[in-house]
Amino acid sequence: MSHMKHNINRRKFLGLFGGGCCSILMPSCATVPITERKQLSLIPEATINRQAAAAYENFRSKTKLITTGSQLKEIKEIGKKMENAVSAFFLNKGEKDPTANFGWDYILVDNDKVVNAWCMPGGKIAVYTGLLKVTKNTDALSIVMGHEIAHAVARHSVERASQAMTINIGTAVADIFTGGAVSQARNQVGNTTGMDIYRIGIMNPFGRKQETEADYLGLIFSSLSGYDIRESVKLWERMAERNKGKEPPVFLSTHPSSTKRIENLENWITEVILKYPPIST
Ligand SMILES: [Zn+2]
């Protein structure tokens, strides 16, 4: 345990989350709320949200769902608190509410084998029953939901789709936006593993930055909603225990390794609790 004081400030975030677009060309750029990271945004958010809503309806109609009971009720209660807290936070700051156009919805998928949850752009959220066996309590579930909601609030899907567009144009163009990260990552991974990064998913380097950002913003949303975010460390410890021996090497995973993730959370928790206390809505 380090006894260094960890100050969360803008510069540190830009160090951790920074990079990306907005250099010389700046074709279309957005800023992630709170972290202020610049992101590529070539596609209108409304377009992505419309596509997501259609995909969500399709998923709903084809999936075995649990539509009553205390587990679904709890998911909806956490969600409602978070919706209100996020909106109130931005309104109090006099900023535009990034969720103003969301059409929030929650489903509980009846599948004990899948330890997962997701939030589609525009606020369509699914939790799998398998996840509830690991979260075990309301605070931990709020951490996962906060993380998923953060992906939507930070418009990570718009960003990924925009990056995919530039990669279709060509790596050279993509590299203009990423400061050479694509070529660098491709060569590094290629040289050590003999694999072509295109085959394991060229988006992974961006994906991991987004995952770390979602962890951070998720803690904030959970804290604003009145949950005990210290539970996040215990949650990821339980998750790591469950995945023992199965954890992929960090460079092949879009999620940070659990060690790195827990280290980040420990650095953030105290200051998030102080800076983002429960908000009255
Ligand atoms: Zn994530």
Pairwise CA distance, residues 273 & 255, whole Å? 24
| Distance of CA 243 from the midpoint of ligand 1 (Å) | 16
| Distance of CA 56 from the midpoint of ligand 1 (Å) | 18
| Distance of CA 166 from the midpoint of ligand 1 (Å) | 22
- Residue 139: other Cβ atoms inside 10 A: 19
Inter-residue contact 255 to 239 (CB < 8 Å): no
Q: What's residue 12's pLDDT?
A: 52
Q: What's residue 191's pLDDT?
A: 45
| Distance of CA 151 from the midpoint of ligand 1 (Å) | 7
Helix (H, G, I), strand (E, B) or coil at 9: coil
For the four alpha carbons of 156, 222, 93 and 212, in that order, the dihedral sign comes to negative
Query: Could you list the pLDDT tens digit for every one of the 281 residues in the chain?
Result: 334 444 445 455 545 555 555 554 555 789 999 999 998 888 888 888 888 888 899 899 989 999 999 999 999 999 999 999 999 999 999 999 999 999 999 999 999 998 889 888 899 999 999 999 999 999 999 999 999 999 999 998 888 877 766 655 545 444 444 445 445 544 544 444 444 433 333 334 447 888 899 999 999 999 999 999 999 999 999 998 888 777 665 555 567 788 889 999 999 999 999 999 999 88
Pairwise CA distance, residues 156 & 43, whole Å? 12
CATH number listed for the domain at residues 20-275: 3.40.390
| Distance of CA 2 from the midpoint of ligand 1 (Å) | 27
As to burial, measured by CB atoms within 10 angstroms (0-12 exposed, 13-18 middle, 19+ buried), residue 232 is: buried
Q: What's residue 180's pLDDT?
A: 52
Domain boundaries, the chain: 20-275
Q: What's residue 230's pLDDT?
A: 98
Q: What's residue 183's pLDDT?
A: 53
| Distance of CA 119 from the midpoint of ligand 1 (Å) | 9
Q: So which residues are the catalytic ones?
A: 148
| Distance of CA 255 from the midpoint of ligand 1 (Å) | 7
Q: What's residue 224's pLDDT?
A: 98
